[in-house]
Structure 1
Amino acid sequence: MNSMDQRKWEELEMDCLVEVFKWIGMESLLLCVPLVCKSWYKATLDPKCWQILVFPEIRCSEHFPGPMIKHFVHSYGLWWHDFPSMSFAKFVVSRSHRSATTLVLPGTCSSQALEYISDECPELKFLGLSLDLLYHNGPVLENLISKWKNLQVLSVGNCYMLNEIFAQIRLHCKKFVGVICCYSWIGYEEASAIASLPKIKYLSFRKAHCHLNNLLMILESCRELELLELRDCGGFDCDDEIRRLASHIQTFRCDRSNTSKEDDDYHYFAGEEQARLVYNNFLNM
């Protein structure tokens, strides 16, 4: 094939471009792709490119944010502690035209931005919440659950206020089927909250810490599980009792889980990278 016969990326049909761009992430959609050419810019304006909204995480610690975050903040006139600002949240979420199905929020998201986002994402199916966001805005989030009638899966970086949030899910989210609690501590109260959702089908505790009795409580209550992810967990050994209770589960993963795991490994939610990991796991369920 000579060079004259080769198709160029910018000449791809709009539907093909949109199908690719909807998976590349918020930073590329805002800072890279629109600058390539006019057809790519036009494709990024399609609402289908904004159905998966994974906001980047900014952690104000001893480490400075990387180049991508600095570019975000500089480009949109934000302060570190104010990301995402109300204006930035509106700019991004409005592009979905109320069609967003996936939302992963950073710990720095303000209560005002949360209120706006909840109103503009009525079709939400997957919600990812970081440790810091739950800690600082748990009561606000509790009151917003009723707006997400189609919510199916909740991913949390910490189990703070899980009882209160699940109480709202039981009332308002009749399609709810999955819980992801990676890098979390699953105590008695948290296990009781999960056990209060006996109809769930997907449960992931990867790299979490859960004592045996708490895990058994969940398995005895949630009899409709189709996927159970317990890989790299601490607090229990995957013994015969667990395997017996999980024998009916179609997909059961319990590799490298044992009581010798260090507790300190189970309290950190790794921001956007971890959010993408658990979301990809959900897609493969």
Structure 2
Amino acid sequence: MAQREWQNLNIDCLVEVFKWVGMESLLLSIPLVCKSWYKATLDPKCWQILVFPDIRCSEKLPRPMTMHFVHSYSLSWHHFPNASFAKFVVSRGQRSATSLVLPGTCAYQALEYISDECPDLKFLGLSLDLLYHNGPVIANLISKWKNLQVLSIGHCYMLNEMFAQLRLHCKNFVGLIFCYSWIGHEEAFAIARMPKIKYLSFRKVHFHQNNLLMILQSCRELELLDLRDCSGFDYGNETRKLASHIKTFRCERSSSSEEEDDYHYYAEEEQARLVYRKIM
């Protein structure tokens, strides 16, 4: 049997693989392999999942790919993506993007442009810093994403305002993901006012027992509840009873400890892909 060459692979197969590889690879490495791979990266389906990486310097050295990425496109560590880069990337999807993850450095102009050019979003991931600096703007932009189904956020800031927009404009909204955050009474009440929600994921989140019970008592259509690595509540008889109808319920490594960590969250590419595959 003759060995097939990489460049002769069916383009539909290439597109199905490339849409999961990440923005850096789609821009900097895959197009350079051969003409057929370059052609595949131009397919709008490769750009339906837009995960803008967090390119900021940290105590650890950035990945070589990230450094290449920054220098190749003359990007700023402090305003990424800017309007011109967002336009360059988003235009490749021809308004077909369904999943979007934004870093805390996203420029205001880029945020507005993306909201206009990605009307079919189903998954939206927002970092702590982005919510802190642009919370009111994001709450207003939610009205443009009428097909939104899942929201992943790194902080509860502006939660009531965002949920008010979700209830009003996003009739298909079913999933909420919190990472490295704290759920107080006000935040729990906001979640409880979303009775049709089906998927709740709290990873490394701290909240008190009464707030968890409030959510369980109100959200009776839950199919998935993830409480792994959470703290502040007791998985006792009352909790078990209220959660008995939930098809997938996980609480490994959770505890009733009242200790609260100094949580920081930045949306990660792999997390976004895994959640998108599981829920969407």
Question: Partner letter of residue 134 of structure 1?
Answer: L
Residue of structure 2 equivalent to 1:268: 264
The residue correspondences of 1:188-207 to structure 2 (distance < 5 A) are 188-207=185-204
Deviation at 1:17, TM superposition (A): 0.8
Residue of structure 1 equivalent to 2:15: 18
**TM-score, normalised relative to structure 2:** 0.96
Deviation at 1:69, TM superposition (A): 2.2
The residue correspondences of 1:181-220 to structure 2 (distance < 5 A) are 181-220=178-217
Contact between 1:100 and 1:123, CA under 8 Å: does it hold in 2?
yes
Deviation at 1:216, TM superposition (A): 0.6
Residue of structure 2 equivalent to 1:105: 102
Q: Secondary structure at the match of 1:218?
A: helix
Question: Partner letter of residue 268 of structure 1?
Answer: H
The residue correspondences of 1:82-231 to structure 2 (distance < 5 A) are 82-231=79-228
Contact between 1:180 and 1:278, CA under 8 Å: does it hold in 2?
no
- How many equivalent pairs are there? 279
Separation (CA, whole Å) in 1 of partners of 2:131 and 2:50: 18
Residue of structure 2 equivalent to 1:65: 62
Aligned pair in 2 of structure 1 residues 15, 278: CA closer, same or farther (>3 Å)? Answer: closer
Aligned pair in 2 of structure 1 residues 125, 29: CA closer, same or farther (>3 Å)? Answer: same
Residue of structure 2 equivalent to 1:75: 72
Aligned pair in 2 of structure 1 residues 159, 279: CA closer, same or farther (>3 Å)? Answer: farther
**TM-score, normalised relative to structure 1:** 0.94
Deviations 1:125-153 (CA, angstroms, capped at 9, x unpaired): 00000000000111110110010000000
Q: Percent identity?
A: 75
Question: Partner letter of residue 280 of structure 1?
Answer: L
Deviation at 1:63, TM superposition (A): 4.4
Contact between 2:101 and 2:272, CA under 8 Å: does it hold in 1?
no
Q: Secondary structure at the match of 2:203?
A: coil
Aligned partner (choices 258, 262, 274) of residue 280 of structure 1: 274
Question: Partner letter of residue 155 of structure 1?
Answer: S
Deviations 1:7-39 (CA, angstroms, capped at 9, x unpaired): 111110111111111111111100110000010
Deviation at 1:255, TM superposition (A): 1.4
Contact between 2:30 and 2:38, CA under 8 Å: does it hold in 1?
yes
Separation (CA, whole Å) in 2 of partners of 1:78 and 1:277: 24
Q: Secondary structure at the match of 1:17?
A: helix
Deviations 1:38-88 (CA, angstroms, capped at 9, x unpaired): 100000000000000000013355445332222121011122112111111
Separation (CA, whole Å) in 2 of partners of 1:117 and 1:230: 32
**Runs of at least 5 residues in structure 2 that lack an aligned partner in the other structure:** none
Separation (CA, whole Å) in 2 of partners of 1:7 and 1:154: 42
Separation (CA, whole Å) in 2 of partners of 1:188 and 1:70: 42
Separation (CA, whole Å) in 2 of partners of 1:85 and 1:72: 14
Separation (CA, whole Å) in 2 of partners of 1:71 and 1:235: 43
Contact between 2:127 and 2:154, CA under 8 Å: does it hold in 1?
yes
**Runs of at least 5 residues in structure 1 that lack an aligned partner in the other structure:** none
Deviation at 1:260, TM superposition (A): 2.3
Separation (CA, whole Å) in 2 of partners of 1:144 and 1:281: 22
RMSD: 1.4
| Mean Cα deviation higher: 62-71 or 10-19 | 62-71
Separation (CA, whole Å) in 1 of partners of 2:43 and 2:86: 17
Contact between 1:233 and 1:261, CA under 8 Å: does it hold in 2?
no
Q: Secondary structure at the match of 2:264?
A: coil
Deviation at 1:271, TM superposition (A): 3.3
Q: Secondary structure at the match of 1:81?
A: coil
Separation (CA, whole Å) in 1 of partners of 2:197 and 2:277: 16
Task: State whether structure 2 residue 22 is matched by structure 1 residue 28.
Answer: no
Contact between 1:202 and 1:228, CA under 8 Å: does it hold in 2?
yes
Deviation at 1:272, TM superposition (A): 2.3
